[in-house]
């Protein structure tokens, strides 16, 4: 268990950093630990039918980010989390990609909205929204900011 409010606050701050500051956090602080996991090639089809090759992080990237966040926590606060606490943080990070949680990871700062099933290639957004309602969650997806605070 976390021993005091300072530790709890540190974990909350690290969680928020992972969720909200992902790109900046990964590129600036954690890049050396993640560079070896970047580069998985994948095909992406845009709305016009053009296929391009893109890159993505590997499946265990969230766990690596969480582990690096724990190390950063130690450097800031001078205290290590227990092995069990570190595993909890890593498990929580890996479970963020399980359905239906991943649909709440998106945020468009120009509209304030989350995932809207747009720009998914040849599949109409109405079909994706129906699939989402049936297989993921009866609730509409939230933006990552709204989901975090509510």
Which helix H or strand E contains 56, and what residues bound it?
strand 51-57
Per-residue pLDDT of the chain (150 residues; tens, 9 = 90+): 445 665 555 555 555 555 544 444 444 444 444 444 444 444 455 555 555 555 556 667 788 888 888 888 888 888 888 889 888 888 888 887 776 666 666 667 787 777 776 666 676 777 767 776 776 666 666 666 666 666
The neighbour count for residue 143, using CB atoms within 10 Å, is: 20
Tell me which residue of 100, 121, 104, 105 sits closest to 61, measured CA to CA.
Answer: 105
Tokens representing 70 are 């724990």
Long-range contact set of residues 24-28: C-beta below 8 Å, sequence gap at least 24:
25/65, 26/65
């Amino acid at each position: 268990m976390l021993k005091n409010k300072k530790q709890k606050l540190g974990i909350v701050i690290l969680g928020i950093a992972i969720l909200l500051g992902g790109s900046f956090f990964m590129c600036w602080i954690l890049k050396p630990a993640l560079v070896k996991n970047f580069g998985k090639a994948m095909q992406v089809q845009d709305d016009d039918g053009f296929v391009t090759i893109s890159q993505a992080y590997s499946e265990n990237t969230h766990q690596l980010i969480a582990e690096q966040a724990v190390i950063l926590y130690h450097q800031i606060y001078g205290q290590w989390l227990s092995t069990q606490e570190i595993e909890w943080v890593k498990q929580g990070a890996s479970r963020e990609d399980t359905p239906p949680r991943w649909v709440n990871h998106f945020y468009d700062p120009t509209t304030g909205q989350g995932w809207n099933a747009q720009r998914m290639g040849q599949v109409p957004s109405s079909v994706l929204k129906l699939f989402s309602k049936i297989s993921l969650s009866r609730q509409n997806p939230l933006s990552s900011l709204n989901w975090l605070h509510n």
